Structure 1
Amino acid sequence: MLTCANCNYQFQYKEALPFSWKTRVGHTCPNCDEKQYYTASSRKRSFNITIIAFILIIFLNAIDVPFTIILLVAAAVIVAMIFLSPYIYKLSSEEEPMW
C-alpha cells in the first residue's frame, strides 16, 4: 500500500486509488500535508507494464484472435493496472526525474 515518504502514513485504499490516474500530479498527505509523487522507479515500472501489455495485444492480433477478445484483454489490463497500482507503486516527497 502507498506510504507517505515524509511521515510514513499508510494511505487507505480509497485515498490511494486517485494516484493511479493522476500520476504527474502531486497529492497531499492527509497526515502531514506534504505533496507526494510517484518515485521514478515506480513510473518506470508502470511504463514497463504498459509496454508488456502493448506487446501482448500486438501478439494476440498477430495470431488472429478475434477483435472482441483483444478488446476484453486490453480492458482487463487497464482495470488491473488502475486497481492494483496502490499496492505496486512507491511515493516520494519530491518529483524525481525519470532518467
Structure 2
Amino acid sequence: MPVCQHCNTEWTWQQTFKKIFTFKRSLTCPECGATQYLSRRSRNHMSILAMIPLVIGLPLVGLSLPASIIISIQLVTFAAVLTWMPRFYTLTNEEEAMW
C-alpha cells in the first residue's frame, strides 16, 4: 500500500482504491492533507496492468470461443486487475516526468 511521504501514514486499500478513479495528477493524503503524486514507476505499472485484460482477450477471440466465455474471462480478469492496482501505488512529494 502507498505511504504518504509527508506524514509516513500507510493508506488503506479502500482509500487507495477510491483514488484510482479520481484521474487527477495529484492525490491528497487522507490523514494530513498533503499533496502527493504517483511515482513514475507506479504510472508505468498501472499502464501495464490496464492492458492485461486486452492482451488476454485477443487470443480468446482468435480461438473462436463463445462470446459468453470470453466475456466471463474478461470480467474476471478486469476485476482481478482492479483488485491488485492499489498494491502497486507508490507516492512521491513531487511530480516526476515520464521520461
TM tier, shorter chain?
Answer: 0.7 to 0.9
> RMSD of aligned C-alpha atoms?
1.8
Counting only pairs closer than 5 Å after superposition, residues 63-74 of structure 1 correspond to structure 2 as: 63-74=63-74
Gaps of 5+ in 2: none
Residue identity in the other structure for 2:33: D
Give distance in 1, aligned partners of 2:23 and 2:83: 14
Give the TM-score of the pair, scaled to structure 2.
Answer: 0.82
Closer, same or farther: CA 52–30 of 1 in aligned 2, 3 Å:
closer
Closer, same or farther: CA 30–55 of 1 in aligned 2, 3 Å:
closer
Give distance in 2, aligned partners of 1:38 and 1:26: 8
Gaps of 5+ in 1: none
Once superposed, which parts of structure 1, at least 4 consecutive aligned residues long, lie more than 6 Å away?
none
Q: Which residue of 1 aligns with 2:92?
A: 92
Give the TM-score of the pair, scaled to structure 1.
Answer: 0.82
